[in-house]
Amino acid sequence: MSYYKLKEGFQEMRKLLLVMVSLVFLLSSTACSSNKYTTNENISFISATQLSDREKMFLSVCTNDYFVFDFSVSDKYKWIEVWIDRYEFGKKVTSNGKLLTGLSESSDGMILATLREQENIKYNWTIATKTGGATATGDFNQEYKSTENYSFAKTWQTIHTKKIIKDDNEITLASICYKEQKNGTTVSSLTDEFYRSPDENIREILNYNLVYLLKVKFYENNPNN
């Protein structure tokens, strides 16, 4: 690969990151204004953001798939961790990183996760979190290698209702499922029971070649200490 191609690739990735960060700031005003719930000492929650048609169009230009969430937590939570769990035919594959960041003084915030698909079944995830004036981002690249040159059917979804945040409780926020496309191939959304307990309902993803689960967890203390 020539120097110029490397330079162009670097500039494209840098441009994408800047776009993603800009989107976080753009969407945060909507996320805050759409928050209809009041946080008190005992109630913390996370829910899917209601986006306008304009915001959906903007996001769809930059990425293949996107997920946006609002959260509001009590003062006891100081850290947030967001990551992608990857499964192949129901078997969990080691992920290549998590985004862990401290929460600002504001109890309200948002999460943005985007996925760009490339040829040869490569996937570039960008995750961003925002609370108050602080924003954190992370890029996570993954590649799925298939023995056959299949085309894939895909289904994706997010949580439908507000999820209450509890101590030591990880929450599955969204999913993307891929299945090799053959005659009669069908794909269906995961059930609410799966979102409540993925491990107990793993049978729902056994027939999918590839599944991504977007997850989040809140901590009172830095989990790395």
The answer to the question of residue 224 being in a domain is no
The answer to the question of residue 154 being in a domain is yes
Query: What element of type H or E holds 202?
Result: none
The whole domain housing 34 covers 3-219
Query: What element of type H or E holds 86?
Result: strand 79-88
| Predicted local confidence at residue 54, as pLDDT | 81
* Least confident piece of the model among 77-91, 182-196, 200-214: 182-196
Q: Which residue's entry shows tokens 């309200």?
A: 108
| Predicted local confidence at residue 26, as pLDDT | 55
% of the chain exceeding 70 in pLDDT:
76
The answer to the question of residue 205 being in a domain is yes
Q: Total domain count for the chain?
A: 1
Give the closest residue to 136 by CA, choosing from 98, 166, 107, 167. 98
pLDDT in tens, 108-135: 899 999 888 876 667 888 898 988 778 8
The answer to the question of residue 39 being in a domain is yes
| Predicted local confidence at residue 135, as pLDDT | 84
Q: How many angstroms separate the Cα of 149 from the Cα of each of 88, 153, 154, 180?
A: 17, 13, 16, 9
| Predicted local confidence at residue 137, as pLDDT | 87
Average pLDDT value for residue range 169-198: 88
The answer to the question of residue 148 being in a domain is yes
The 10 Å Cβ neighbour count of residue 199 is 7
pLDDT in tens, 39-55: 455 679 999 988 888 87
* Least confident piece of the model among 152-161, 165-174, 181-190, 209-218: 181-190
The answer to the question of residue 184 being in a domain is yes
| Predicted local confidence at residue 39, as pLDDT | 46
Q: How confident is the model at residue 2 (pLDDT cuts 50, 70, 90)?
A: very low
Edge to edge, the sheet with strand 45-48 lists 134-143, 122-131, 108-118, 65-72, 45-48, 163-164
* Least confident piece of the model among 56-60, 181-185, 218-222: 181-185
